[in-house]
Structure 1
Amino acid sequence: MERAPRLLVFTDLDGSLLDHHDYDWSPAAPWLRRLAARGDAVIPVTSKTRAELAVLRRQLHLEHTPFVTENGAVVGLPAEWRRPGDPPPESDGLTLFTPGEPADALAARLHALAAEQGAPVRLFSELSDDEAAALTGLPPADAARARQREGSQPLLWDGDEPGWQRFCKVLEGDGLTVTRGGRFRHVMGRVDKGRAVRWLAARYRELHGRDARTLGLGDGPNDLPLLEAVERAVLIRGAHDLPVAPRQDALYRTGQPGPRGWVEGLEHWLLKDGPDKENGHE
C-alpha cells in the first residue's frame, strides 16, 4: 500500500451512508473525497450482497479498500491488503474470505426448521425480482443483485412478534446467528459485523506493524457488533423504531438520519481533535 491509512472508517450503508428511503449518498460525497485526500480508508460493512456492493464501490470510489458484506459473512480484500498464503484472487482481483456458512446450506436448514416448527417464514432470496423490488424500493435489476446471497439469508416473518421470538430461540439453539437490519431479519452462521471489523483491524496490524485508529458508523441492531468493535462510534438516527444500545463509551448519537447523520458523526469525531491530529500527522 503506497500510503498506509492511519484511520479505518468502518461504515454501514443502508440507513447510514445511504438514505434509507431512496439510497441517496450525495450529502456524504464531500467527506468521502476529504477522507480519500487524507489517506483514510472507508470500509463498507453492510448487509448488502457482494453483487450489490460491486456497483456501489465504483460509484463511491472505494475500489481500493476492503469490504464486508452480508453482515460479516463475506470479507473482500484488494491486492494491497493481501498476505502470502491467502486464497488466490477472484477474476476481479479480490481475495475473498467466507467464514460463515454457504447461503444454500442456510436455506436448507431454515426450511427444515420452519417446517418442523410450523413457522411462517419466507426467504428473501427466493422471492421474484418484482417482489423483492416492491419490498426494498429498488429497481428489479438491483433487487436481483440483492437476492444473490453467499453467506446469509434475510427472512420475511409472516407471524406475530412472540412467535418470532420463539422461532429465533430455535435458530440460535441450532447454532445460527440472528440479527435485524432496517428492513429484514437476517440469519447467518457464526459471523457478525464486529468479528469482521476486528479481523480487518488485525490484518492491518499484520501488514503494517502498528494499529490503525478505528471509527465505526451504523444505525441498526445489526450494527451493534460493529459499533462495539471500534475505538470511536457513531450511532446514526434510524428510520426505524428498533432499539439500538451499543456498549460503547466513545459513542456519539446523531440528530440527523442517513448520510446527513453520517456527516454529522464524522464531523463530531474528526473535527473535535482537528484533522491532522486525528489522522496521526504532526
Structure 2
Amino acid sequence: MTKAALIVFTDLDGTLLDHETYSHAAAGPALQRLRERGIPVILASSKTAAEVAPLRAEIGLSAYPAIIENGAGILPAHGSSARDAGDYARIRAALDMVPAELRRHFIGFGDMSDAEVARSTGLDLNRARLARQRNHSEPGEWTGNDEERAAFERHLADRGITARYGGRYLTLSLGGTKADRMDEIAALYGQPRRIALGDAPNDLEMLLASDVPVLIRNPHARPLPPMPKDQAGHILKSTRTGPAGWNEMILSLLSEAISRQTGA
C-alpha cells in the first residue's frame, strides 16, 4: 500500500456516527479534507464484518482496511461481509467443553435468535442479524456471580480463549485488541503518525497507542478510568459530540499540521 504521512483510526458509535441517528453527515467536511489529502481513515469497531462493510462503503472508505469485533480481526480493504468463521467455530467449540453448571450462565449471540439479539442490544432486526454474523468473537450475557465467572474464564483460557467485559457483554475471543490491529495496519502504510478518535473506556487502548489521542465528547458514555497525569494530559477532548466533535477535532488538527509544514 502507498506510504502515508498521517493515518486516522476511529471508533464508530458515538464518535464518527451520531449516538442517536447513526449518521456521519456532520463529519462530512473533515472526511472530505482527509480524502483530498490521501490520508487513510481506518474504522475500528466492535461491529462485525457484515455490519462494517456496508457502513464503510457508505462513508466512502472501502479502499482501507477496518478493525472489527473490538480488535479480534481485520476486514481487508475492498473486502465484503463474506465470512471466514474459523475463529468463531473454535470459540463455540470451546464453549461446548465448559461444564454445564458454568456454561448455563453465558448466553452468547450464537445461543440467541435474531429477535433475541435485537431485544438484548436494542438493534432493529436486520442489524441484529448482521451482528450475529460473527467471525472472530462471541459476546454474551453473563448471569452468574463473580466466582463462577472466574471459573468459567479459567476453563476457556485453558483452550486459548480470552474473555473481556465491554460494558453490557462478556466477549470471548482468541485475543487481540484495537491497539494490536493498529500496529498491523499502520505497518502497511509505512508507520505514519497516528491520530485515534474514540468516545468510551473501551477505546482507551487505541487512544494510548496513538500519537494524537482524541476523546470525543459523549454524555452517554462512561468516563475514562483514572490515568497517570502525563497520559491524561496527552488526550485531546472535543467540545462537541459525535461526528460534529469528530469534524471539529480533525479540521483543527489538519490546520495545525499545515501550519507546521508552511512555518506559519
TM band (smaller chain): 0.7 to 0.9
Structure-2 residue corresponding to 1:222: 202
Structure-2 residue corresponding to 1:134: 119
Q: Is the 8 Å Cα contact of residues 220 and 244 (structure 1) preserved in structure 2?
A: no
Letter in 2 for 1:38: R
Q: How far apart are 1:269 and its partner, in Å?
A: 3.5
Q: Is the 8 Å Cα contact of residues 114 and 121 (structure 1) preserved in structure 2?
A: no
Does residue 254 of structure 1 match 2:253?
no
Does residue 236 of structure 1 match 2:216?
yes
Structure-2 residue corresponding to 1:276: 258
Letter in 1 for 2:254: L
Letter in 2 for 1:69: I
Matches within 5 A, 1:21-36: 21-36=20-35
Structure-1 residue corresponding to 2:42: 43
Matches within 5 A, 1:132-281: 132-159=117-144, 164=149, 167-168=152-153, 171=156, 175-181=160-166, 183-205=168-190, 211-238=191-218, 239-241=220-222, 243-244=224-225, 248=231, 250-267=234-251, 269-271=253-255, 274-277=256-259
Q: Distance in 2 between matches of 1:114 and 1:24?
A: 43
Q: Percent identity?
A: 35
Q: Is the 8 Å Cα contact of residues 221 and 242 (structure 1) preserved in structure 2?
A: yes
Q: Is the 8 Å Cα contact of residues 94 and 156 (structure 2) preserved in structure 1?
A: no
Q: Distance in 1 between matches of 2:216 and 2:153?
A: 26
Name structure 1 gaps, 5 residues minimum: 80-89, 206-210
Aligned partner of residue 113 in structure 1, secondary structure? coil
String of CA shifts for 1:158-210, please: whole Å, max 9, x gaps.
345675566556655654333344543322112111110011112222xxxxx
Q: Is the 8 Å Cα contact of residues 201 and 222 (structure 2) preserved in structure 1?
A: no
Letter in 2 for 1:236: I
Q: Distance in 1 between matches of 2:237 and 2:167?
A: 17
Q: Is the 8 Å Cα contact of residues 215 and 231 (structure 1) preserved in structure 2?
A: yes
Q: Is the 8 Å Cα contact of residues 63 and 77 (structure 2) preserved in structure 1?
A: yes
State which of 70, 79, 97 in structure 2 corresponds to 1:112.
Answer: 97
Aligned partner of residue 235 in structure 1, secondary structure? strand
Name structure 2 gaps, 5 residues minimum: none
Aligned partner of residue 68 in structure 1, secondary structure? strand
Q: How far apart are 1:65 and its partner, in Å?
A: 1.1
Structure-2 residue corresponding to 1:68: 67
Letter in 1 for 2:192: A
Give the root-mean-square deviation of aligned CA atoms: 3.3
String of CA shifts for 1:119-145, please: whole Å, max 9, x gaps.
511112332112222333333122111
